[in-house]
Structure 1
Amino acid sequence: MRRPIRPLVPALLAAGALLTGCGGPEPLPEVTPGARPTAEVSAAKPVAAASLGGPGTACALPVSFSLAKAWEPEAVEDPEDPDFAELTRQGPATVRCEVDAKPAGHVGFLRVWTAGKGPARTALEGFVKAEKGSSGASYRETTAGALPAVEVTYTVRSALLDEDKEERAFAVAVPEGVVVVHLAGMDTGEHRAMLPAYELARTTLKLS
């Protein structure tokens, strides 16, 4: 049975998706790394192929948003299990859903986390500080759909690659608590190539 693993490293990615689920690992298609755009956000606009978070979708979440074409979501099995807290918790947040970009040709994931009630920025700051090797966090007020949100950009030191890589997340406060949507890629190039899918999620977010 597979368990969600927060660090994003090539060896683990090659082994299969990092989500929990029933059954053994399945064979994976060949992965072609995404383009390496020089701009911070790629100009390409992804095709919205499905919705995530609402009734009947792969993950039951307090919010819903559109997924880019070929991105595959899967709910995290039993995220409250204390035996796997090191893998399923980051600061105040618990991972609920993981969306794999591999079928879309990228090496990375969009993950949805939830935290208790409180200010979105407080939860997001705790989330970033809990990520090993994080630095240079820059926060800004923004929106997620029609909801007020806080977004952060920062870097994480990859011991495996011996380089810093960019990461990004946004948080919204909803009646059930705080929702954090986090984008992580194998390296900065993959991260930037996946930003359009992240922006699609942010701009289409709404309460479930």
Structure 2
Amino acid sequence: MRHPIRIMVPAVAALAAAGLLTGCLGTEAKPDRPAGKPEAKATSAAPKATLGGPGTACALPVSFELAADWKPNAIKNPEDPEFAALTRRGPVFSVCEIDAKPAGHLGYLRVWTGKQGDARATLEAFVKAEKKTSKVSYKETKAGALPATEVTYTVYNEIMEESKEERAFAVSTPKGPVVVHLGGLDSEEHRAMLPAYELARTTLTAN
């Protein structure tokens, strides 16, 4: 069985070795780095692929354009009770993660889906289910042509002993609410990945 998450958290190394932690704990564990971090590739706003439709890496209730070199992977069986504590946050389950490492960043853009609920209530429950959040701020916006709610907040990362910025937006679709979330190893990585997040938000359409 291929597991959804890839970054090690020492307290549960056995699970992390199988790839099970980053998505739901919201923590990007700090990897060993050589002296001098390799220069990240510029995140291009030019569309390289569209994710979400039939035949794409993740079949979703929505579609959006991917930034260059970001690699999407579907999360298998997100509602499996064995892993629900890791793949569920509030009323939604993590169904797709888009890895930024091929583009030179440390983080993921993740898509979470639920069965019912409006965008605002779903997003509020999503953030409430995250631990050690602060500076939470919501606003009404658009995702493509769809009404959306967006949140920015910080999460205290116990491994790195610092707070880091995160953000997400949510939309309602006939197939249920969708949350698109951007984390990152730290605030610097998060900010560097914002163009990919904005590309997803501005090009989003319902399937």
TM-score, structure 1 length as denominator?
Answer: 0.83
1:46 partnered with 2:52? no
Alignment of 1:126-145 (within 5 A): 126-145=125-144
Secondary structure at the aligned position of 1:48 is classed as coil
Q: Distance in 1 between matches of 2:38 and 2:154?
A: 24
Q: Distance in 1 between matches of 2:90 and 2:133?
A: 13
Amino acid at match of 2:38: T
Secondary structure at the aligned position of 1:127 is classed as helix
Conserved in 2, the CA contact under 8 Å of 1:65 and 1:206?
A: yes
The gaps in structure 2 that reach 5 residues or longer are 6-20
Identity rate, percent: 59
Secondary structure at the aligned position of 1:83 is classed as coil
Give the corresponding residue for 2:3.
2
Secondary structure at the aligned position of 2:60 is classed as coil
Cα-to-partner distance string for 1:5-45 (whole Å, 9 max, x where unaligned): 2221124xx7xxxxxxxxxxxxxxxx73649xxxxxx9x75
Q: Distance in 1 between matches of 2:133 and 2:88?
A: 16
The gaps in structure 1 that reach 5 residues or longer are 15-30, 36-41
Amino acid at match of 1:2: H
Q: Distance in 2 between matches of 1:106 and 1:47?
A: 17
Conserved in 1, the CA contact under 8 Å of 2:152 and 2:165?
A: yes
What value does the CA root-mean-square deviation take over the aligned residues? 1.7
Secondary structure at the aligned position of 2:116 is classed as coil
Conserved in 2, the CA contact under 8 Å of 1:33 and 1:107?
A: no
Count the aligned residue pairs: 183
1:171 partnered with 2:177? no
User: In the TM superposition, what is the alpha-carbon distance from 1:46 to its structure 2 partner?
Assistant: 2.2
Conserved in 2, the CA contact under 8 Å of 1:154 and 1:167?
A: yes
Alignment of 1:80-119 (within 5 A): 80-119=79-118
TM-score, structure 2 length as denominator?
Answer: 0.84
Cα-to-partner distance string for 1:114-167 (whole Å, 9 max, x where unaligned): 122222110000001111111221000000000000000000000011111000
Conserved in 1, the CA contact under 8 Å of 2:87 and 2:94?
A: yes
Cα-to-partner distance string for 1:95-126 (whole Å, 9 max, x where unaligned): 00000000000000000001222221100000
Secondary structure at the aligned position of 1:150 is classed as strand
Give the corresponding residue for 2:12.
none
Alignment of 1:128-207 (within 5 A): 128-207=127-206
Q: Distance in 2 between matches of 1:111 and 1:183?
A: 7
CA pair 48-119 structure 1, distance change in 2 beyond 3 A: same
Q: Distance in 2 between matches of 1:152 and 1:83?
A: 29
Cα-to-partner distance string for 1:55-87 (whole Å, 9 max, x where unaligned): 110000000000000000000011110110111
Conserved in 2, the CA contact under 8 Å of 1:34 and 1:189?
A: no
Q: Distance in 1 between matches of 2:38 and 2:45?
A: 17
Conserved in 1, the CA contact under 8 Å of 2:44 and 2:68?
A: no
Amino acid at match of 1:76: I
Amino acid at match of 1:190: E
1:32 partnered with 2:38? yes
Q: Distance in 1 between matches of 2:154 and 2:178?
A: 21
